Amino acid sequence: SQTIHQWPATLVQPVGSPLSLECTVEGTSNPNLYWYRQAAGRGLQLLFYSVGIGQISSEVPQNLSASRPQDRQFILSSKKLLLSDSGFYLCAWSTGTSSYNEQFFGPGTRLTVL
Amino acid sequence: DQQVKQNSPSLSVQEGRISILNCDYTNSMFDYFLWYKKYPAEGPTFLISISSIKDKNEDGRFTVFLNKSAKHLSLHIVPSQPGDSAVYFCAANPGGGADGLTFGKGTHLIIQP
């Protein structure tokens, strides 16, 4: 069966510090991968998605970036965090073969920028 | 501009009764709709989906209804159970592509004993 891991689970960082969140998927090959953010009182906002190694599509221009160095690894980064980057970050995967594009989410990372 | 709207931030329902969660959308290009359930500090879990060529899909206690002309869908949970207390997100996928889903803001369902 497929599993998706995210770490760390929680993170408290000062403004201006760098960020690296990692996501890995097991039990599947060539998944589509996604990063979402849920800010307080808001829905899930798509940040990035990837359909293959090295292929990144950005949905929202911001100070975040994403990379996919391996087939089942997806990394979210920032060089300098802003207060507005606080939120709950979710990684998700899909098979890429379903028209519904049902996505399966990881446990999330709670990021607090102080 | 929100393309998927869940206008009720919260809903309280008595255990054993029917829970009805509503969702409206504005983009006529949306072809596929999904409902997710989320507990605090966890990732959302997929519940049920429906395509725009159908008006109903049922899975156990969960039924999703789609009114394409009104651009409205609803999730019915019968009977409601305490474990159903969670935030429910409506999501849409335009054209069946691999792009990310467009989510509503969610409705917090509270099942009262």
Burial of B41 per CB tally in 10 Å (0-12, 13-18, 19+)? exposed
> What's the confidence (pLDDT) of residue A90?
96
Token pair for B38 = 């989320």
Q: Identify whether the C-beta of residue A64 lies closer than 8 Å to the C-beta of residue A74.
A: no
Task: Give the pLDDT band (50/70/90) at residue A61.
Answer: low
Q: Identify whether the C-beta of residue A11 lies closer than 8 Å to the C-beta of residue A100.
A: no
Domain ranges across chain B: 4-112
List pLDDT tens digits, range B96-112. Answer: 677 789 999 999 999 99
Instruction: Choose the closest CB to A99 out of B32, B45, B103.
Output: B32
The label of the residue with tokens 């949970």 reads B77
> Which of B101, B103, B108 has the most A C-beta neighbours within 10 Å, making it the best mutation to test the interface with A?
B101
> What's the confidence (pLDDT) of residue B96?
63
List pLDDT tens digits, range B1-43. Answer: 689 999 999 999 999 999 999 999 998 888 899 999 999 889 9
Interface of B with A (CB under 8 A): 4, 6, 31-32, 34, 36, 41-46, 49, 51, 89, 91, 93, 96-106
Residue type, B89: F
The architecture CATH gives domain B4-112: Sandwich (2.60)
pLDDT exceeds cutoff 90 at A33: yes
Q: What is the mean pLDDT of the segment spanning B58-70?
A: 97
A71 Cβ partners below 8 Å, 6+ apart?
A: A29, A30, A31, A52, A53
Q: What is the separation of C-alpha B22 from the centre of its chain, rounded to a whole number of angstroms?
A: 7
Q: Which residues pair with A50 in a beta bridge?
A: A33
> What's the confidence (pLDDT) of residue A2?
84
Instruction: Choose the closest CB to A43 out of B31, B32, B89.
Output: B89
Task: Give the pLDDT band (50/70/90) at residue B75.
Answer: very high
| Structural domains of chain A, ranges and CATH numbers in brackets | 3-113 (2.60.40.10)
